[in-house]
Structure 1
């Protein structure tokens, strides 16, 4: 997964929770333009710490697993 795909996922999660970019920015002490650029894949300078803060705010976390050519059960279930 690259930052472009991760930005799209964060946008979808935020929209599902009906949270605006401005609300998220205010709660995370980030600019709305940073969140917007990340969601659109236009900002390569967003560090991992900010990405983790966004995911945490939305109730998700980063997980590391061994790379496999086979999808996980969760990926199959979620249609990824």
Structure 2
């Protein structure tokens, strides 16, 4: 196993948790701006319209994907800088 993969392995879970919290905060802020409501609608929430639910879901997915990708890319670049090889 390459040194970069060994160095990268313990970082993954911590990075995943941190990026999840960042993404959740970013989505909550985006929804406050777009939806004019503190809480994003849940699919089973009867107090929000279909339109709100169908807008919130892909927005949340896009934000989570972007944050996760940025975190993964940054950690891979850092691992490469520290070990000399990319973990991928």
Same fold (TM over 0.5): no
**Band the TM-score falls in, shorter-chain normalisation:** 0.3 to 0.5
Instruction: Give the TM-score normalised by structure 2.
Output: 0.32
Instruction: Give the TM-score normalised by structure 1.
Output: 0.34
Computing the radius of gyration over CA atoms, which structure comes out larger, 1 or 2?
2
Give 1 or 2: higher helix fraction.
2
